[in-house]
Amino acid sequence: MYTHLLSPVDAGSTTLPNRVFMAPLTRSRAGQPGDVPTAMNAEYYAQRAGAGLIISEATQISRQGQGYAWTPGIHSDEQEAGWRLVTDAVHAKGGRMAAQLWHVGRISHPLIQPDGADPVAPSAIVAEGAKCFVVQPDGTPANIPTAMPRALEASEIPGIVGDYVQAAKRADRAGFDMVEIHAANGYLLQQFLATNSNARTDQYGGSLENRARIILEVVDAVVAELGAGRVGVRLSPHFAAHGIADEDAEDSALYLAREFSKRGIAYLHIAEPDWAGGPKLTDDFRGALRKQFQGLLVFCGGYSAATADALIRDGGGDAVAFGRPYIANPDLVERFRLGAELNEPDPSTFYGGGERGYTDYPTLD
């Protein structure tokens, strides 16, 4: 059953046993203090090692890159050691794992920034309607509106690129097979790309090529560190949350797909927009992406095993990432293989907490 979805495939320099990716899923369960992955996180990921590739939850590359309390980082020695616990557990079960490298940009607040600083962004434009998750001065957690960011100086951008490189180095030392650069979902790199969140007039603003510049600088720097075969990128054309409205969404994605293909990166991961209120991707756009990107093309967004298998069978994509099904079904690949019923996830346990709703979902056996 689902022979296309369950067939092996090469992603750059890594051979994957199937085309079922575990999508990056924020679960807000990093150990405190320090936002350090723990043995509980290692158990959670190891339970899901049957995936062709596990993409870690979004992982901030610096304190400045954080917008949500209790999410893990990959910028301290303690965090690096915590991630080594996770990758060792996944590898012991025969799995493969990519670290998703994340800078939230303006989706943050002084309450969660180092020394109470303002969040940073390409331009001083607030993310209308967006919220971040903080611990308030009285110790209570809260979802609050994001703060007005300050515009990054051009002289600061090489430091941001350097933070991605340092995070990639730590991911390598922590045992990750690959890294995924998070340039989607309204966070910093997409804030540079989108026409309504980037009002710059320097080399990082204005034209499509200028707005995409920082993404390619990050990709080039990380590729130089790890090799192109160990690097993927996530994009979300037509994403419609976090105050993002990009007039050039498809042109931007196609331009970047072409540039990524020139660089030979392992995969391009497209987060489809309809779950966030955006339009469905058209067949024409999917076909254009396929022409522009020669590597592994991955789609994520409300697929079933049947629709994912059909996408791959028809040549529209090479793999499919599953999010909420993986929360509730650690043995998702085996359930697909057997045509077994899926557990339903409990949304009340998605963010924060302990083992309940995290490591206690039943497997078939």
DSSP 72: -
Asked if 220 and 265 touch (Cβ cutoff 8 Å), the reply is: no
C-beta atoms surrounding 26 within 10 Å: 17
| Strand locations in the chain (E) | 9-11, 14-16, 20-22, 53-55, 59-60, 97-102, 120-121, 131-135, 141-145, 150-151, 178-182, 231-235, 267-271, 296-300, 319-322
Q: What is the token pair recorded at 16? A: 């994957």
pLDDT digits (tens, 9 = 90+) for 300-321: 999 999 999 999 999 999 999 9
Burial readout 341-356 (b: 16 or more C-beta within 10 A, e: otherwise): eebebeeebbbeeeee
Q: What is the pLDDT of residue 1?
A: 86
Q: Which residues does the chain have with pLDDT short of 70?
A: 276
Largest CA distance in the chain: 59
How far are the Cα atoms of 62, 163, 174, 334 from residue 103, in angstroms, in the given order?
A: 7, 9, 19, 34
Task: State in Å, rounded, how far the first CA of the chain is from the last one.
Answer: 19
326 as an active site residue: the answer is no
Marked catalytic residue, from 187, 204, 255, 267: 187
DSSP 345: P
pLDDT digits (tens, 9 = 90+) for 189-203: 999 999 999 999 999
DSSP 18: S
Ordered by start, the domain boundaries in the chain are: 9-349
Asked if 364 and 328 touch (Cβ cutoff 8 Å), the reply is: no
Class of domain 9-349: alpha beta
